[in-house]
């Protein structure tokens, strides 16, 4: 994929994107800090869920995973 992008967008643009994305993997705490809501926002006043939310997945083909 990276090679195709280099052909399409140029090596310099893809190199800059890669360098920016590599910064996220160097310090995961820095990345996950962005997921915390600001302390004065309405999201900060909500209790943290114990599990991930459940949302039915709608695919590009239409319908739900159960075939409906």
Query: What integer pLDDT is reported at residue 14 of this predicted model?
Result: 95
In a domain, 60, yes or no: no
Considering its fold, how many domains does the chain have in total? 1
In a domain, 56, yes or no: no
In a domain, 44, yes or no: no
In a domain, 68, yes or no: no
Which pTM was predicted? 0.45
In a domain, 65, yes or no: no
Q: Mind listing the pLDDT tens digit of every residue in the chain (68 residues)?
A: 999 999 999 999 999 999 998 887 888 787 777 778 888 988 888 887 777 777 766 666 666 556 55
Query: What integer pLDDT is reported at residue 65 of this predicted model?
Result: 59
Domain carrying residue 30? 2-36
The Cα–Cα gap between 2 and 14 comes to 8
């Amino acid at each position: 994929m990276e090679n195709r992008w280099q052909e399409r967008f140029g090596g310099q643009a893809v190199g800059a994107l890669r360098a920016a994305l590599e910064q996220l993997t160097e310090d995961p705490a820095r990345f996950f800090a962005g997921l915390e809501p600001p302390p004065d926002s309405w999201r900060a006043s909500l209790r943290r869920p114990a599990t991930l939310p459940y949302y039915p997945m709608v695919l590009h083909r239409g319908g739900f995973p159960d075939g409906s």
